[in-house]
Amino acid sequence: MAHLLMVESWVGSMSRLLPRAIREGGHEFTFLTRDLHHYLRSASEGASHPLLGARNIITADTNDTGALLPEIERLHAALRFDGVLTSCDYYLPTVARIAGHLGLPGSPPAAVENACRKDATRRVLADAGVPGPRFAVREEWAGISRAAWEMGYPLVVKPVDLCAGMYVRRVEDEEQLAAAVGALADFPVNARGQRRRPAVLIEELLDGPEVSVETVSHAGAVHVVGVTDKSIGGAPAFIETGHMFPAALSAADMEAAERTALAALEALGLTDGVVAHTEIKLTSDGPRVVEVNPRPAGNRITELVRHVTGVDLAAAFVDVSLGRAPDLRRSDTGLRSAAIGFLVPDTSGTLASLGGGDLRDAAGVLEVQLAEPGRQVKAAGSNNEYLGHVMAVDAEGPGARDQVEALLGELRSGMVIR
């Protein structure tokens, strides 16, 4: 039995999947947080609260890494950790520094920090010749405006240090650029109380479909588990409206996406102790890296992968965090595709009703999670405003996405927001 230190992890579906993987692997974990009440607001999806499985719950200022490291060292002397991990983007660099400080398995701290900073990722990949969009990084309005003019509209404006598509916007002209930059400036502190960097990332708008490459890195080797396709909507925002695994791609496009992701991970130095989710645009000029996430995919993509291949990426994450070889053997699950679609509100108000009957009775449906009437709704500007999801599978071929889209259509047809 191994003992893992889990730092500030309760985000999305990983709030259940990661503790489950630790338990099923025969291990235990100590949970470290700066704000326990952040996690006590509700149990995830009606299940028993994941914190009930923790061996210890310890509070400390996880936002002050300098003060945290000696405190972790004292805890390590008493509790003996075999690995450290998190599923929260904002604490991935902290975990890498803890692992390095204690001599535990993991990727180099600099590699993780570069992957978690979108501007640093762009510079590292550009220096290594890994294809990506043209970009500029500026802080002051004069520099932002000039860089946008030189690059040419339409453009994409991004924060360098937020996740879930927050404040990522397509802009068509300088007026929209000013609005996007102003909105970003009005959000100086992220959801975990960390002060944001004021830099703004400006990128050329890439054409083509988007996919993600799911990989596991261990002992200097990066293993591709598969490629997921992604549906994006909510313009001018970039909201993930659904995913299907495996992506319905030609063999050539699949190979090109995988090759590009591997090159990005190699350039960043993410070749050990990491499960990664690398987003790629398949443009008319070839694949281009959108971003590299040094943690398992969100939005239940890991579950899509597991349903089709039998590979448990949450379990692989636990294994590589302990320095152990992950079990990536595929099994015949009897399924050929799995998809998830999200109900994305385009207006604000109070949810009065949704269409459709009991979708759980529909063929191929594995999961249905929907907001209850009476919920306050905000028009979606990121992946944080979903009203629920539907997951379905196909045993014959790549039909899971069509099934999900049909079911979501039923829900939307009767959705009333007042």
> What is the secondary structure of 213-241 as a DSSP string?
EEEEEETTEEEEEEEEEEEEESTTB-EEE
The structure tokens listed for 328 are 């990536």
Q: Within 10 Å of residue 353's Cβ, how many Cβ atoms?
A: 11
Listed residue (95, 101, 93, 52) closest to 77, CA to CA: 101
Buried b (16+ CB within 10 A) or exposed e, 50-71: bbeebeeeeeeebbebeebeee
C-alpha–C-alpha distance, residues 105 and 209, integer Å: 35
Sign of the four-CA dihedral 268, 127, 174, 230: negative
Q: Which tokens in the block code for residue 227?
A: 């490629």
Dihedral sign of CA atoms 282, 286, 291, 295 in order: positive
**pLDDT score for 414:** 86
Q: Are 236 and 176 in contact (CB under 8 A)?
A: yes
The pLDDT value recorded for residue 51 is 87
- Cα 246 to chain centroid distance, Å, stands at 17
Spatial distance between the Cα atoms of 354 and 340, rounded to a whole number of angstroms: 18
Rounded to whole angstroms, the Cα distance separating 131 from 264 reads 9
| 137 backbone dihedrals φ, ψ, rounded to 5° | -125, 125
Q: Show Cβ contacts of residue 68 under 8 Å, excluding neighbours closer than 6 positions.
A: 60, 61, 62, 94, 98
- Beta strand spans in 333-383 (E): 337-342, 349-353, 365-370, 376-377
Strand partners, 268: none
Domains of the chain with CATH codes? 3-104 (3.40.50.20), 134-204 (3.30.1490.20), 207-333 (3.30.470.20), 336-418 (3.30.470.20)
Instruction: List per-residue pLDDT tens for the chain, 418 residues long.
Output: 999 999 998 777 888 899 999 999 999 999 999 999 888 876 555 568 888 899 999 999 999 999 999 999 999 999 999 999 999 999 999 999 999 999 999 999 999 999 999 999 999 999 999 999 999 999 999 999 999 999 999 999 999 999 999 999 999 999 999 999 999 999 999 999 999 999 999 999 999 999 999 999 999 999 999 999 999 999 999 999 999 999 999 999 999 999 999 999 999 999 999 999 999 999 999 999 999 999 999 999 999 999 999 999 999 999 999 999 999 999 999 999 999 999 999 999 999 988 777 788 888 999 999 999 999 999 999 999 999 999 999 999 999 999 999 999 999 888 899 9
Q: How many residues does the chain have?
A: 418
- Read off the amino acid at residue 235: A
Q: Computed from CA positions of residues 296, 297, 299, 303, in that sequence, does the dihedral angle turn out positive or negative?
A: negative
- pTM as predicted: 0.96
Identify the pLDDT of residue 1: 92
